[in-house]
Amino acid sequence: MSRFFFNDRKQMVNDAIEGVIISSRFRNLTRLDTDPAIRVVVRKDWKKSKVAIISGGGSGHEPAHVGFVGKGMLTAAVCGDLFASPSVEAVLNAIVAVTGDRGCLLIVKNYTGDRLNFGLAAERAKKHGLKVEMVIVGDDISLPDNKQPRGIAGTVLVHKIAGFAAEQGKSLSDVRDIAQLACDNIASMGVAMQTCNLPGQDGEEGRIKGGQVELGLGIHGEPGANTVNSQNSHEIVASLVKCLREKTGTQARLAVLINNLGATSALEMALLTKELVHSELKDQINYLIGPAALVTALDMKGFSLSAIALNDIFIEALQAEVETVGWQPMVKLEPLSMQKHSVIRAATQAKASENTAVKALVTSITHTLIGQENALNALDAKVGDGDTGSTFAQGARDIAQLNEDDKLPLNDTAALLELIGERLAMVMGGSSGVLMSIFFTASGQKFAKKQPLADALLFGLEQMKRYGGADLGDRTLIDALQPALEALKDGSLNAAVKAAQEGANATAQMQKANAGRSSYVNSDNLKGVKDPGAVAIAEVFAGLTLSK
């Protein structure tokens, strides 16, 4: 099945262009109203008083190229179909539409179709009396023996530097020279663990196997230089950095662009950035651009690094503000900022004490929960994520160990409840740990105010309900705990055991869960299945009668 949202495959690029234009926050984009097959986006505010900067190529690399049209970068972008060069006619129309007496510069990625179509369009434009120059970007260093290195994400840096020079009013030859100088000082390399898919095609198993990454693949999914049997971020970044250093040298001041190839999460891009600034390049990197999606490859799961050796002109150009939707402002690399702060710990300062009856009570509860681990997990697997038993057992093991080591304030009920609450928040994990921590902590605080134990436990329950959002009838452990505590308040443990069991049994007939993971499960899957949290409570109360 296709992995893309679209309506009409033939109109996909046109629809995307319209979406970018109408959503631009600068309101400065327009499309040439001509043959529908000619997709040219231009600056609405362009006056032809300066050198025009035109780029383009196949679509599928968004925000390139339309996302870089605007003051300070491109004057126009010529869009081909997905991964296909725009036609000669489309490029020629773009040149004629935006070029004035100052001329125009074409920035072309080093692919055969782009070189030929942009080149022929330039020659035809010259016959119209227009001044046209062209630079070809070949920043990919992954295949060093290739006489025609591919143009990849580093192209955006050329857009930015050339656009700045044009905005300063420089001549066409000067703009061309500074763009060529940028091309000569940029090195890029990409890596991916999954290649891209094309809209309308069934998703198939890619050539990159699980646990591997491919170094140096192209932005259309072309095979790279080699495959590595690792997905470790530190190792992969180190491999890219080694290649970049060989190209840029070990003394150059650098700005590095961290480019998302389309499907890498923001979390991953952030940690990859961390790896970069701690790599062998750390002493050379002056500035960062990104992490961001700048030149993507549809939904490729990967990233690329582009390093440019800096001079004062490049720094000024890359720092200049622009009015485009796709550019990511360059930032100066500075040491990680850390703010001193004294850690506040809510540790309960309770002295261990002995109480044989309470010790037996704690033993009963913890052993019950540990013993029910597998059964509760199996039950939870039917309605949740299968870890209720492990979660409760994890907390129970911690308390059981403290009990065995005689480290609990067994003769101080308030302190015991609060300490249990503190430990569960630390070791139990997830929302269950926090909820049970609230229950025990609030109960302990209430008992410290000379309230009866049953009242204190009911107060803890109310606080758990308040913060957790669940209530009686919502198919949670509350359906067993609340009736049990209410029965316990009347003085009968046997009644509490019965109430807990009846409450747990009732959850099997509840068609809708209003809290927890079960709230996302279809009601048909809930029918006849008890809530595992409620079952845990019922088992705990049943265990108390056996331990008497």
Catalytic residues: 220
| 28, 81 Cβ separation under 8 angstroms | no
Q: What is the 3-state secondary structure (H, E, C) of 464-533?
A: HHHHHCCCCCCCCCHHHHHHHHHHHHCCCHHHHHHHHHHHHHHHHHCCCCCCCHHHHCCHHHHCCCCCHH
Burial track 363-401 (b if 16+ CB lie within 10 A, e otherwise)? bbbbebbbebbeebbebbeebbebbbbebbbbbbebbbe
Q: What is the 3-state secondary structure (H, E, C) of 434-474?
A: HHHHHHHHHHHHHHCCCCCHHHHHHHHHHHHHHHHCCCCCC
Cβ atoms within 10 Å, residue 280: 13
In 37-87, which ranges are continuous DSSP H helix? none
What's the token pair of residue 485? 């505590």
Question: Rounded to whole angstroms, how far apart are CA atoms 402 and 61?
Answer: 58
Q: How far is CA 196 from the centre of its chain?
A: 18
Nearest to 69 by CA among 79, 83, 82: 79
